[in-house]
Structures are given as C-alpha cells and as structure tokens.
Amino acid sequence: MHNLRRRKGRAIFLVVGLLIGVATVVTLLSLTDALGMRAQHELEKFGANIIITPHSEQMALSYGGVQLAGVNLVAEELQQSSLVNIDSIPNRRNIAMIAPKVLGAIDVKGQRAMLMGVDPEVEFKLKRWWSIAGRHVQQGPELVVGDTVARRFNLTMGDTLEISGQNFTVVGLLDKTGSQDDHLLITPLPVAQEVLGKQGLVSMVEIAALCHDCPVADMVNQLQQVLPGVDVQAVQQVVKTRMHALGQFRLLAWGVAVTVVIIGALLVFVTMMGAISERTREIGIFRAIGYRRRHVLHLVLMEAAIVSAVAGVLGYLTGVLATLTALPLLDGGEIHWQWNPTLAVAAVFAAVLVGLLASLQPALRASRLEPNEALRAL
C-alpha cells in the first residue's frame, strides 16, 4: 500500500488501464444481456410460440403461418376437455397462456366467411398487436370484425349481422393487420361452437410459453405425449432469427471484450515489468535482509491484486454507467438495465485474475533477483 501511495502515477495508470478494459467488457455484456431480455420480451409480445392442431394428412387452411387441418372440410377437431392435460406437462410453469379457438366457415349475406370463436380473456391479451376500434367481445353474440371482412360486408360499429339465424352485434373493428386475421369474424368461443355445431370442440390451440431459457422443443414433445393424435408445432422462426442476430452480437461483444482484456493484461505486464526494474535495488534490500523469494513474489502480486481489485470495482461501475447511458439510444429506449450480481462479481474477479496473471512473470522475475546483483551496494 505504501508503495502504491508513493507511486500514485503508476498506480493510477494501471487502475485506469484495467478500468477501461473492465468497463468495456461490462458495457458490452450488459448491453447484450439487455438486448437479449428485450428480444425475450418481444417474443412474449409476439404471442404464441406453440400451436396445437388436430392431426390431418390434408392441407387445408393456413393460419398464423401454420397449416390447419381442414376447418371447412370434414376433419377431426380437438376435444376441449382434453386441454386440461396440458397442465400436466413437466414444463407447465413455463406456459403463460392457453388460447383455444374454433374456426369454421359460415354464410353471411349469401357469401362465405370465416368465424373464429375465442376465449376473450386470453385471446386479446395474447394478440397484443391487435388494434381494435371499440372493445373486445365479452360474452353472447358479439363480434370483432377483421378489416377485410368489414369492408366486404360494409360493417361499422354497432351494426347487427345475422349468422345462422342469430343476430350478432359488431362491438369492435380490428385494424388492418395484413394477416389472415383481417378475414375473421371473432366471437366468444361458446357462441362460435354453437353456431358451427362444434360444441366441446376446438380447431386449434395457441400456447404462449415463456421460454427464455427453457427448451421449446422439449415442451413440444411433452405436449405431444399428453395430447395424442394432435400436431404440436413450435413457431420459432422469428425467435431464432432474432436470437441468431443476438448471438452474432454476443460473439462480437466477446471478441471485443477478449481483445480489450488482452490489451489490459499487456498494459499491466509492461507497467509491472517497468516497476520491477525501478525497484530492483529495493528488492535487493528485501532479499538481503532475509526475504525469501516467495515473500517478494507475494509482495508484488499483492500490489497487483489491490490495483486490479480497485480497477475491477471502478471498471464495473463505469461499465454500468456506460450501459445506462447507451441503453436509451438503443431500440427507442424500451430496453431496461437489470442488475446482474454475477457480472459484478465476475468483473472484479476477472480484473484481479488478469492483473495477477499479467503480473506473474514480473513478480517471478523480481523474486529471482539475486540480492547482490540487485543491490550492487556490497
């Protein structure tokens, strides 16, 4: 400590050098983490990532990018009562939402249209990107109408539409989504089951699984086991694309981090070598008065550890500050930083480790100095 205080300039130089390295690593890793969390958050907002459909050999209708068994043809439907089995899978805690729906073709004003029955409590939470003028359906014969179908039948809020002899009130108009949803008439599940003659049946189930780390493929297998005779598919393409991009960024972050750490280590190495050269005489005194080689080694490494630990703590704090500054500039400021205690501990530990490793050779050199050679006084 005395030596560090005396050679403040060198100590500060070492601390700043290592601090920059640690701060860079912490910033990059924190940003990667935050972006990962953001991707996960978006994934959750994106909606379902597992879709269950009746098993069918025929290709009939595509919904949400998934081929459904013939909803307008003769096909088996899922028994709604069997859905309780979903709760029995090992990863049931990862399931956030189960959204069953029944689909069927109906006649409206002499034209064919698609009716979809949904669980209003779940469906509208799942489809967060739906923008609805009016309100959600709640119960009874109410409709939320897709943009295309609304134009086709010239429907506005409050209109009444007769379907299978029953009058439905339009309570909401779905803004254009650019997907199949624009063609749908959406009504509560029991109403649709009754109109379509599919009581107790569902055409498909969308599941939102909160799977930051859990294996979706495993959940698909588990669902397949508890729901025999159905097709379970994971919607992973978007997630995988995002995760792949994130993986590339993470790789880049690690690349930069490793480079910075190597530069930091070289800085410590060169500075410590200089310090040892400067302190040769001093080391000679220590050795002459009876310090063993390991005592000298311990002295030098202790100094390196103190400097590195200070650099680690300050570097971590600087990294956090840099992350907090950088985050609002990314993705419209919707990403939030979360304290990661593991990263904090790892940053300090890594700084000390790098400091010690980089100082090892200079310390060994110091400890191997022969006292007489070092002193040149006697």
The answer to whether 3 contacts another protein (rule: CB under 8 A) is yes
The answer to whether 372 contacts another protein (rule: CB under 8 A) is yes
In the bound state with another protein, the residue whose beta carbon lies nearer, of 278 and 331, is 278
The answer to whether 371 contacts another protein (rule: CB under 8 A) is yes
In the bound state with another protein, the residue whose beta carbon lies nearer, of 38 and 287, is 287
CB 52 within 8 A of CB 232: yes
From 109, 281, 321, 328, residue interacting with another protein (rule: CB under 8 A):
281
In whole angstroms, how far apart are CA 89 and each of 48, 83, 209, 224?
17, 11, 12, 10
Extended beta strands in the chain, E state: 50-54, 61-63, 66-68, 78-79, 95-108, 111-118, 132-134, 142-145, 160-163, 166-174, 184-188, 201-202, 204-209, 230-234
The answer to whether 336 contacts another protein (rule: CB under 8 A) is no
In the bound state with another protein, the residue whose beta carbon lies nearer, of 176 and 294, is 294
The answer to whether 269 contacts another protein (rule: CB under 8 A) is no
- As measured in angstroms, the least distance from the Cβ of 375 to another protein is 7
- As measured in angstroms, the least distance from the Cβ of 1 to another protein is 10
Residues paired with residue 54 on neighbouring β-strands, in sequence order: 230
Report the candidate in 283, 245, 251, 267 with the shortest Cα–Cα distance to residue 357.
Answer: 267
Q: What angle do CA 179, 184, 188 make, to 5 degrees?
A: 125
In the bound state with another protein, the residue whose beta carbon lies nearer, of 2 and 112, is 2
- As measured in angstroms, the least distance from the Cβ of 306 to another protein is 15
- As measured in angstroms, the least distance from the Cβ of 7 to another protein is 8
- As measured in angstroms, the least distance from the Cβ of 283 to another protein is 11
The answer to whether 375 contacts another protein (rule: CB under 8 A) is yes
- As measured in angstroms, the least distance from the Cβ of 286 to another protein is 7
Of 223-242, which residues contact another protein (CB under 8 A)?
none
The answer to whether 282 contacts another protein (rule: CB under 8 A) is yes
From 112, 165, 178, 370, residue interacting with another protein (rule: CB under 8 A):
370
The answer to whether 12 contacts another protein (rule: CB under 8 A) is no
In the bound state with another protein, the residue whose beta carbon lies nearer, of 329 and 378, is 378
For residues 62 and 313, give the distance between their C-alpha atoms in angstroms, rounded to a whole number: 55
User: x/- site string to another protein, residues 89 to 128, per CB under 8 A?
Assistant: ----------------------------------------
The answer to whether 286 contacts another protein (rule: CB under 8 A) is yes
For residues 319 and 325, give the distance between their C-alpha atoms in angstroms, rounded to a whole number: 10
Sign of CA dihedral 203, 209, 215, 221: negative
For residues 89 and 87, give the distance between their C-alpha atoms in angstroms, rounded to a whole number: 6
Size of the site for another protein (CB under 8 A): 23
Structure tokens at 40: 């996960």
In the bound state with another protein, the residue whose beta carbon lies nearer, of 76 and 282, is 282
Report which residue type is found at 224.
Q
- As measured in angstroms, the least distance from the Cβ of 368 to another protein is 9
Report the candidate in 305, 271, 291 with the shortest Cα–Cα distance to residue 367.
Answer: 291
Name, in order, each residue with C-beta under 8 angstroms of 308's C-beta and a sequence gap of 6 or more.
18, 268, 351, 352, 353, 354, 355, 356
- As measured in angstroms, the least distance from the Cβ of 281 to another protein is 7
Sign of CA dihedral 285, 287, 290, 296: positive
Annotate 43-80 with DSSP letters as a single string: HHHH--SEEEEE--SS--EEETTEEEP-SSSS---EEG
The answer to whether 5 contacts another protein (rule: CB under 8 A) is yes
In the bound state with another protein, the residue whose beta carbon lies nearer, of 256 and 375, is 375
- As measured in angstroms, the least distance from the Cβ of 302 to another protein is 12
Of 287-306, which residues contact another protein (CB under 8 A)?
287-295
Structure tokens at 55: 């098993």
In the bound state with another protein, the residue whose beta carbon lies nearer, of 189 and 296, is 296
Tokens 């190597």 belong to which residue? 262
Q: Which residues bind another protein (CB under 8 A)?
A: 2-3, 5-6, 281-282, 285-295, 370-372, 375, 377-378
